[in-house]
């Protein structure tokens, strides 16, 4: 049955205006030139999809089931199939189309029709008329203009506080910097670090308040200018599509920082090294320009030092005379070894450079146990005592003299064995880490004061988890992903893909880098 001979209950293809095409594309034309049942089904299903997008909780239209059966909720658009009830991610469109021969989809954010054969959004008069009616009046029935009195007359139901609170949602994700970063060729190790910067409220406030004057900066390929541009893009732009960090890449590749020149290669690199590189570069651009010396108590008031830097104190006690020597030094992050602790617990679960897992037990440890090994327990050493004027046996203990605002912890999962056959291995031991971390037991003040009733001191040492960087796979061909907290909600960042995550997903991850923010700032 043709559209012209259709009954009153049949849907009709919209007659085009002069100068407009009859259909959005030739493929939509073929769809609408089939039998009336196909036309009815297509238009009715499109209406149902528009209702799901604009009338129901929008999170539903952004929730899709992947080909592996896993349900994910993405902030980037999903695609609702016009020919079946499936909701698909961008990656699954082609697979679904080839398997089902379904070629038309509705973009979950705007309600526009996407033609897979054209590989583009198509403007079709029939579909667009329905979409505009839904957006304009909330109804598909005509385009009657509502009277002024109807629009603005008080409504006792909708004006009720309970109705308002029930139907009010949080600001859209666009305002929260939720956006993925495209992989430019083995750059996932950079992307996870950049995401940790972007969701760090201290850095965010610095760059969004013109902390770095990029307009007046004359440093060529300045990485701080590139960071400023990125923060503006993430927090001022209304798009949630992936971001290409071209300025970061160019500044990184031509950097004169020779200490990290091994990172400039088109292959998988270490996220921890890139974090150190970026911190040093941003310090030089925003601070005193001096590179922090290893082992020194470097003092600077730049944004990087205010955010990440703390101070360690190493106390060496002579076993002969009891004399104590204290030495302080600045730290950017705490590197916590896993090898010794896992050896104490049993054999480690290792993967070698070829990704071959050994048949060894996988005993989990806790982050607190790892910190205890480094910052509570002491070890034996020999040192030249000034009082004894000779080399003596001593006990050395390291504690944290000053905690940073954002505490970064590296779990040393990669170990390098030097010898006849140099080789690297990855320690796969699970490390249980908390959402809230009490760092007071590891401070220097905890050694010298009664802290039971000192609430303010305990609060200043309490941290909330902010970001987790995870390395999956083997040493050479692995991949980095990260989890970042925005408010009370966690999100998973996998290059340009951003999906909702549960706390259980975060806590079960095999963390490589952990970022905690002091509670008074979180």
**Domain map (residue ranges) of the chain:** 26-141, 187-286
Please report the pLDDT score of residue 312 as a whole number: 93
Helix (H, G, I), strand (E, B) or coil at 75: coil
Beta strand segments in 108-237, E: 113-115, 120-122
pLDDT of residue 6: 42
H-helix or E-strand containing 437?
strand 436-438
Distance CA 314, CA 324 (A): 10
- Single pTM value for the model: 0.72
Question: What is the per-residue pLDDT for 521?
Answer: 77
pLDDT at site 127: 92
Give one word for 273, left, alpha or beta, with left for phi > 0 and alpha for psi -120 to 50: alpha
Q: Where are the alpha helices (DSSP H) in 376-454?
A: 445-448
pLDDT in the model for residue 93? 86
SS3 (DSSP) at 224: helix
Selecting from 3.30.40.10, 3.40.50.300, 3.30.70.2740, 3.40.50.740, what CATH number does the domain 26-141 have?
3.30.40.10
Cβ contact 237:227 at 8 Å: no
Q: CB-based contacts of 171: which residues, under 8 Å, 6+ apart? A: none
Residue 179's region, left for phi above 0, alpha for psi from -120 to 50, else beta, is beta
| Rounded-to-integer distance, Cα 212 and Cα 223, Å | 11
Low-confidence ranges of the chain (pLDDT < 70): 1-8, 56-71, 137-175, 238, 256-268, 288-298, 345-362, 417-423, 449-455, 522
Token pair listed for 435: 């959402």
Q: How far apart are CA 462 and CA 434, in angstroms?
A: 11
pLDDT score at 218: 87
**pLDDT score recorded for residue 309:** 94
Q: Note the pLDDT of residue 254.
A: 79
Question: Which pLDDT score, from 0 to 100, does residue 68 have?
Answer: 63
- At residue 359, the pLDDT reads 30
Report pLDDT for 341: 79
Write out the H or E segment, with its range, that includes residue 30. Answer: helix 26-32
Q: 484-511 burial, b for 16+ CB within 10 Å, e for fewer?
A: bbeeeebbbbbbbbbbbbeeeebbebbb
């Amino acid at each position: 049955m043709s559209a012209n001979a259709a009954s009153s209950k049949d849907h009709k293809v919209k007659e085009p205006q002069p100068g407009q095409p009859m259909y959005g594309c030739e493929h939509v034309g073929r769809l609408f030139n089939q039998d009336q049942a196909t036309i009815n089904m297509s238009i009715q299903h499109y209406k149902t999809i528009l209702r799901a997008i604009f009338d129901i909780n929008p999170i539903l239209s952004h929730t899709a089931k992947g080909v592996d059966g896993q349900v994910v909720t993405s902030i980037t658009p999903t695609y609702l199939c016009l020919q079946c009830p499936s909701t698909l991610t961008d990656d699954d469109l082609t697979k679904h189309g080839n398997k089902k021969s379904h070629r038309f989809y509705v973009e979950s954010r705007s309600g526009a029709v996407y033609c897979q054969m054209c590989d583009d959004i198509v403007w079709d008069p029939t579909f667009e008329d329905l979409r505009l009616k839904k957006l304009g009046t909330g109804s598909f029935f005509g385009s009657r203009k509502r009277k002024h009195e109807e629009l603005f007359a008080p409504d006792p139901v909708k004006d009720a506080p309970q109705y308002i609170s029930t139907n009010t949602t949080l600001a859209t994700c666009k305002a929260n910097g939720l956006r993925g970063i495209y992989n430019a060729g083995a750059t996932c190790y950079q992307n996870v670090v950049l995401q940790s910067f972007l969701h760090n409220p201290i850095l965010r406030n610095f760059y969004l308040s013109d902390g770095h004057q990029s307009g007046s900066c004359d440093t060529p390929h300045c990485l701080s200018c590139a960071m400023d541009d990125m923060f503006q893009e993430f927090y001022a732009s209304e798009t949630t599509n992936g971001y290409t960090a071209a300025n970061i890449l160019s500044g990184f590749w031509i950097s004169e920082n020779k200490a990290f020149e091994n990172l400039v290669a088109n292959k998988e690199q270490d996220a921890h090294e890139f974090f150190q590189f970026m911190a040093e570069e941003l310090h030089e651009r925003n601070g005193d320009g001096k590179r922090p010396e290893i082992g020194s108590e470097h003092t600077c008031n730049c944004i990087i030092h205010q955010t990440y830097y703390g101070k360690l104190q190493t106390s060496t006690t002579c076993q002969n005379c009891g004399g104590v020597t204290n030495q302080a030094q600045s730290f950017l992050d705490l590197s916590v070894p896993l090898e010794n602790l896992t050896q104490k617990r049993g054999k480690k679960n290792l993967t070698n450079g070829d990704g071959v897992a050994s048949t060894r037990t996988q005993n989990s440890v806790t982050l607190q146990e790892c910190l205890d090994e480094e910052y509570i327990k002491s070890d034996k050493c020999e040192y030249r005592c000034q009082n004894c004027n000779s080399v003596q046996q001593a006990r050395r203990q390291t504690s944290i003299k000053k905690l940073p605002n954002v505490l970064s912890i590296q779990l040393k999962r990669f170990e390098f064995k030097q010898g006849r056959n140099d080789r690297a291995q990855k320690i796969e031991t699970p490390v249980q880490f908390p959402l809230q971390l009490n760092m007071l037991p590891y401070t220097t003040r905890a050694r010298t004061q009664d802290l039971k009733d000192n609430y303010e001191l305990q609060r200043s040492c309490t941290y909330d988890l902010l970001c987790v960087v995870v390395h999956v796979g083997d040493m050479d061909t692995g991949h980095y992903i990260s989890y970042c907290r925005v408010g009370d909600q966690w999100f998973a960042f996998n290059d340009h893909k951003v999906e909702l995550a549960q706390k259980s997903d975060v806590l079960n991850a095999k963390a490589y880098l952990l970022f905690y923010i002091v509670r008074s700032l979180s």
